[in-house]
Amino acid sequence: MTKKRDLLYEEAIEELESYGITGAQIYLIDLIPLIEMIWADGKAQGAEISLLADYLKKHVEHINALAGYQALDLEEAKAFLTKFLKNRPDPRLMATLRSFITPVRLKSSDPDKCDKLKESMLAACLDIASSSVTEYPYGLHDRFTPEEKHCFFEILQTLSD
């Protein structure tokens, strides 16, 4: 089995542009795994969306603080998310967009910042998955659906490449 060639930053940016993700929106691709977790069980539930909204607010504030100016507008960021929350997006599209996170957001000269960003995304994914269940009562091993578990491990694998 051959390993997929690592994309360079510039190539990933060009690919994102082909999906209509341009400018400061590239800093919103960190939200793709969270959206995937929301939809993993087939339902976008209120608690999951609330957690995403909290993460988004902190994410926008963090990006703007790093930039030293308002690089991202919260309302524009919410509009970006709405495209993915109205209807369940194609899982292949989400996996493709997720593949751009590493070259665009997790490759920098500061590995500690990259590790913190990755940990933040993964922690938010776990928070989202554990926030809601699709059926009550649920069994001891059923807080996360098999689909959510599978989704989480795919995200983990992608972000670890």
Cis amide linkage into residue 111, ω under 30° from 0: no
Residue 142's pLDDT is what? 59
Residue 62 placed within a domain: yes
CA pair distance 120, 146, nearest whole angstrom: 22
Residue 12 placed within a domain: no
Residue 3 placed within a domain: no
Residue 55 placed within a domain: yes
CA pair distance 30, 34, nearest whole angstrom: 8
Percent of the chain's residues with pLDDT above 90: 78
Count of domains in the chain? 1
Rounded to a whole number of angstroms, the CA Rg of the chain reads 16
Residue 103 placed within a domain: yes
Question: What confidence tens digit (pLDDT) does each residue in 57-110 have?
Answer: 999 999 999 999 999 999 999 999 999 999 999 999 999 999 999 999 998 778
Residue 43 placed within a domain: yes
Tokens 């649920």 locate to 138
Asked if residue 135 has pLDDT above 70, the reply is no
User: What burial letters (b/e) apply to 144-158, b meaning 16+ CB within 10 Å?
Assistant: bbeebeebbebbeeb
Tell me which residue range forms the domain holding 89: 26-160
Asked if residue 154 has pLDDT above 90, the reply is yes
Asked if residue 161 has pLDDT above 90, the reply is no
Residue 61's pLDDT is what? 97
